Amino acid sequence: MAQERISFRTDGNLKKQAEIVARELGTNTSAVMNLFLTAFVRRRGIPFDVVLGETYEERQRLNIVLDQRQKIIDDANEQDFTAHDDVKKRVGLATNGI
């Protein structure tokens, strides 16, 4: 099959970083892009999850809950096993006996 050229624009710094990583893997960016396109066609979509990560505020709230959980665990005696349920309630998860 004949080789064809695809041309696209990208940030210069990103290109340099990609070339370094590709070289470290023993390949080049052209081969990496061919791997991506092959996976893209086989999957009939982007071959990795495209998701919105948690926001800074969500991470801060989670850290507060985790800190509270650790305090509950640190303060609990051996007979008190409610810390797990307490944390799940704080983050809005049903315990369902787990």
- Pick the more confident residue, 90 or 95: 90
pLDDT > 90? residue 13 = yes
Dist. CA 33–CA 26, nearest whole Å: 14
By mean pLDDT, which of 2-6, 7-11, 85-89 is the weakest?
85-89
Q: Specify the 3-state DSSP secondary structure of 52.
A: coil
And the tokens for 16?
A: 């340099």
Place of tokens 């810390």: 83
Q: What's the mean pLDDT when you consider all of the chain?
A: 83
And the tokens for 8?
A: 């696209």
Dist. CA 90–CA 69, nearest whole Å: 9
pLDDT tens figures, 31-79: 999 999 999 999 999 998 887 787 888 888 888 988 888 887 777 655 5
The model scores a pTM over 0.75: no
Mean pLDDT of 11-24: 95
Dist. CA 84–CA 88, nearest whole Å: 6
